[in-house]
Amino acid sequence: MQRNRRQVCRVCGNEKSEAGMVPVQGMRPSLAAEIERDHPGATSEGFLCLADLNHYRSIHIERLLETEKGELSGIDHQVLESIRNLETVAGDPARESDTRRTFGEGLADSVASFGGSWTFLMAFAATMALWILINSTGLSTRPFDPFPYILLNLVLSCLASVQAPVILMSQNRQAARDRLTSEHDYRVNLKAELEIRQIHDKLDHLLAHQWSRLMDIQQIQVDVLRELEEHRRERRGDRAEPTGPQS
């Protein structure tokens, strides 16, 4: 029955179930100051809904980042938006890079991958050996490229001139993928740092609140012990009183 009780949010004024509300007395002072700036008296007592609480948490984090870093970048705003919407920022940079790849970039990756393999080296060596064998040992009555193999040099020059730009395109693709991976790592690390900072603030506030309650309980125990001791002394005094003379 306790979970079905409904409370009114001190910020938006909507009535919601108490299970989805947060008491304002358990808030951190820094977060309460952000809410008081827009809604004076909202953190005196009562409850706040989770949507408003997350909204002001993101505002508080944004102001902390602006204080520490100055102007925020686009990645910083993305991290703050993910915190505000309770979304994750972790993903697969390789898959994201592949989805953005054009046909030409994919072809360059395939050519560069094949050109840097042992299959290409062995096929290239076999082709050159067969070329020289045909044009030097008389296997052909009319060799199409006799020594000094001018046509072979032309083919090798054309192959090198075409292969170099393809390799450069593939390297640019790898550099873009590495940059995307570093941005992804930065987003994850920044959000983890902000979330850990919030957890530390919550724990510090919780420990301070619990310590205050423990001190109150200890003071009550001391008062009860003092009253028991006084009551015991009064009972001893009553027993020690001399009786009047007997007639």
Residue ranges of the domains in the chain? 1-90, 93-174
Distance, C-alpha 222 to centroid of its chain: 48
What letter does residue 101 receive in the DSSP assignment?
-
**pTM (2 d.p.):** 0.52
> Which positions of the chain have pLDDT values less than 70?
1-4, 18-20, 26, 86, 138-140, 201-202, 204-213, 238-247
Q: Which of 100, 97, 125, 111 is nearest to 183 (CA)?
A: 97
Element (H, E) at 127: helix 118-136
Cα–Cα distance for residue pair 126/120, rounded to 1 Å:
10
Gap between the terminal Cα atoms of the chain? 70
Element (H, E) at 6: strand 6-8
- pLDDT given at position 1: 39
